[in-house]
């Protein structure tokens, strides 16, 4: 099961594939931005990376939405994918390598093969099921998981996540022998303690599996919007089995063996905590059953909350990311959610908190620093970066600060997915550079016209610009556009190449930015916010 890692293998990260019953909101964008930062970071480590996202288009939820809108499910999906989902990822500068849709032939044909293989191996049998089903979750629920409805739903049992009544279903289904995989899964979790993160998520899954698993209904026969069961076309494959397989079909399962071997399994499946069990229990069991390697990690993020509830379109609390980017810009948007909410815990969005961080951290600490340094190189050296010939302990401390920021952010963002901690480490360094300028007072040193005074002035400004060179490299994954502006303003590109090609491992090499480059003031990185409507 623990195949030897193929040395040519890509670092493979996935987002959940999103239901296209509606437009994306902040909650969906949260995970997708996190995955984008993680994969950009690994690209800058010099690794080969594969970042996958996509859409989940089958099932009753989509079918009913399409019906309610008077169009076919396929038309509905096509419209939403092209008009809402793909444009949002472009807008947020998501650099995904592929976008899989579960209605594509490259997916559906392979899903049928996978399920047929399980059937041929005796892992699937026919039975019947009766129980409460939540169409929002697309999942049969155990009676104990339900809540008593209140108000308009008084007297009904409701889903704890969607807060809507469940439906009683009675169907003839096919079942996957999931119950047989409990002990094997527990053994796998014990041997791979980092498989489920964070710790709270791991504990929840362990408790769930330890209680014993039931077999999983993997087909539905009362509607037809899905992938047909190959040996019994009256049934469609359960939407979750169909959806999970995207992680295999998108990277060549059954169609491109070389691609599959160099990509699969995922290094990180990013998931919301509500869909953890599907990824940490059902998905590995499906893979075990078909003799495929298991993912390295499943990392659950918390929810963005509104008024104490999970933000969602069905609760009418879904905020469109564009409502925020129009005001704060895309870079600040990408920064804010990862900086403000420790990854793995729930967090509330607040306009005031966003504005406060924008002004103090981005505009004042970072943006002003960049523009002051460029302005001083312009004023005192005609925009040509001078050489540092009089370095001392203060510059050594800066170089050390940069090295610390690189090491900490690499460990936190690149390994632990602690985005908030990693970004904080970079911004501690930004603060250190501000402190350095306050102490060194280059504007006063500039008045000393002696050669020693001029050499100190040159050294201070070089050190500040060189620090910003490091900051641009480290922030590129989080804020690619603004970091690119900074890179341009430092005149770094002709000498050092494009920003995205700068390696994290070399970011701390002090003295990388060559003296003599042209430093320009450029666009303001974080303009003052407009008054809110």
- Where in the sequence numbering do the catalytic residues fall? 25, 28, 134, 137, 159, 162, 310, 313
DSSP class of 165: B
Q: Which is nearer to ligand MSP, 236 or 271 (CB)?
A: 271
Closest separation in Å from C-beta 243 to ligand MSP: 4
Closest separation in Å from C-beta 109 to ligand MSP: 18
Torsions phi, psi of 299, nearest 5?
-115, 120
Residue 281 to residue 185: CA distance in whole angstroms: 7
**134 has binding-site annotation:** yes
Angle at 256 between CA 250 and CA 261, to 5 degrees: 85
Q: Is the peptide bond before 265 cis (omega within 30 degrees of 0)?
A: yes
Show Cβ contacts of residue 390 under 8 Å, excluding neighbours closer than 6 positions: 452, 455, 456, 458, 459
Largest CA distance in the chain: 91
Closest separation in Å from C-beta 526 to ligand MSP: 26
Q: Which is nearer to ligand MSP, 311 or 525 (CB)?
A: 311
Cβ atoms within 10 Å, residue 484:
17
Closest separation in Å from C-beta 492 to ligand MSP: 36
Residue 184 to residue 177: CA distance in whole angstroms: 13
Closest separation in Å from C-beta 271 to ligand MSP: 5
Residue 7 to residue 73: CA distance in whole angstroms: 42
CB 44 within 8 A of CB 207: no
Say how far residue 406 (Cα) sits from the centre of its chain: 21
Helix, coil or strand: residue 481: helix
b (16+ CB within 10 A) / e for 198-237: beebbebbbeebeeebebbbbbbeeeebbbbbeeeeebbb
Q: What is the DSSP string of 74-91?
A: HHHHHHHIIIIIHHHHHH
CB 386 within 8 A of CB 515: yes
Closest separation in Å from C-beta 331 to ligand MSP: 21
Torsions phi, psi of 12, nearest 5?
-110, 120
Task: In the chain, count H helices and then E strands.
Answer: 22, 17
**Binding region for ligand MSP (CB under 6 A):** 16-19, 27-28, 30-31, 56, 243-244, 246, 271-272, 274-275, 303-304, 310-312
Q: Which is nearer to ligand MSP, 205 or 377 (CB)?
A: 205
CB 11 within 8 A of CB 39: yes
Q: Which is nearer to ligand MSP, 38 or 471 (CB)?
A: 38
Angle at 41 between CA 35 and CA 45, to 5 degrees: 140
Strand ranges for 180-277 from DSSP E: 196-197, 216-217, 219-220, 236-237, 268-272
Residue 374 to residue 137: CA distance in whole angstroms: 53
Q: Which is nearer to ligand MSP, 299 or 461 (CB)?
A: 299
Annotated binding site: 134, 137, 159, 162
Annotated binding site for Zn(2+): 134, 137, 159, 162
């Amino acid at each position: 099961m623990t195949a030897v890692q193929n040395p040519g293998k890509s670092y493979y990260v996935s987002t959940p594939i999103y239901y296209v019953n509606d437009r994306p909101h902040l909650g969906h964008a949260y995970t997708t931005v996190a995955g984008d930062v993680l994969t950009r970071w690994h690209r800058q480590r010099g690794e080969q990376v594969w970042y996958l996202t996509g859409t989940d288009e089958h099932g009753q939820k989509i079918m009913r939405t399409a019906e309610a809108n008077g169009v076919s499910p396929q038309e509905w999906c096509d419209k939403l994918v092209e008009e809402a989902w793909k444009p949002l990822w472009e807008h947020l500068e998501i650099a995904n390598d592929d976008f899989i849709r579960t209605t594509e032939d490259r997916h559906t044909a392979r899903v049928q093969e996978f399920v047929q293989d399980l059937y041929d191996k005796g892992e699937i049998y026919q039975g019947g099921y009766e129980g409460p089903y939540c169409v929002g979750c697309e999942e049969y629920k155990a009676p104990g998981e339900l809540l008593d409805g209140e108000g308009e739903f008084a007297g009904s049992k409701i889903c704890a996540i969607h807060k809507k009544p469940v439906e009683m279903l009675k169907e003839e289904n096919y079942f996957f022998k999931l119950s047989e995989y409990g002990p094997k899964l527990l053994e796998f979790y014990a041997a791979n303690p980092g498989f489920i993160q964070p710790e709270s998520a791991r504990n929840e899954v362990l408790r769930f599996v330890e209680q014993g698993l039931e077999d999983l209904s993997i087909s539905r026969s009362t509607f037809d919007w899905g992938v047909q069961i190959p040996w019994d076309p009256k049934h469609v494959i359960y939407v979750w089995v169909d959806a999970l397989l995207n992680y295999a079909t998108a990277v060549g399962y059954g169609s491109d063996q070389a691609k599959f071997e160099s990509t699969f399994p995922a290094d990180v499946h990013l998931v919301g905590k509500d869909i953890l069990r599907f990824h940490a229990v059902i998905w590995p069991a499906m893979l075990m059953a078909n003799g495929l390697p298991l993912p390295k990690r499943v990392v659950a993020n918390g929810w963005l909350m509104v008024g104490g509830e999970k933000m969602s379109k069905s609760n009418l609390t879904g905020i469109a990311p564009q409502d925020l980017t129009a005001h704060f810009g895309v870079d600040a948007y990408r920064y804010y959610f990862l900086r403000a909410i420790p990854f793995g815990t729930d967090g509330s969005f607040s306009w005031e908190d966003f504005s406060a961080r924008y002004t103090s951290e981005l505009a004042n600490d970072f943006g002003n620093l960049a523009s002051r340094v460029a302005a001083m190189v312009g004023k005192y050296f005609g925009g040509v970066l001078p050489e540092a010939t009089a370095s001392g302990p203060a510059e050594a401390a800066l170089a050390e600060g940069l090295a610390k920021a690189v090491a900490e952010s690499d460990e936190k963002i690149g390994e632990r997915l602690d985005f908030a901690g990693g970004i904080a480490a970079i911004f501690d360094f930004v603060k250190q550079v501000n402190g350095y300028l306050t102490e060194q007072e280059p504007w006063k040193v500039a008045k000393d016209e002696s050669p020693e005074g001029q050499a100190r002035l040159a050294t201070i400004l070089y050190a500040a610009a060189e620090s910003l060179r490091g900051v641009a490299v480290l922030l590129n994954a989080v804020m690619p556009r603004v970091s690119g502006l900074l890179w341009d303003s430092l005149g770094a590109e002709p000498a050092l190449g494009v920003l995205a090609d700068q390696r994290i491992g070399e970011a701390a090499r002090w003295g990388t930015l060559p003296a003599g480059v042209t430093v320009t003031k450029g666009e303001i990185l974080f303009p003052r916010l407009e008054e809110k409507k």
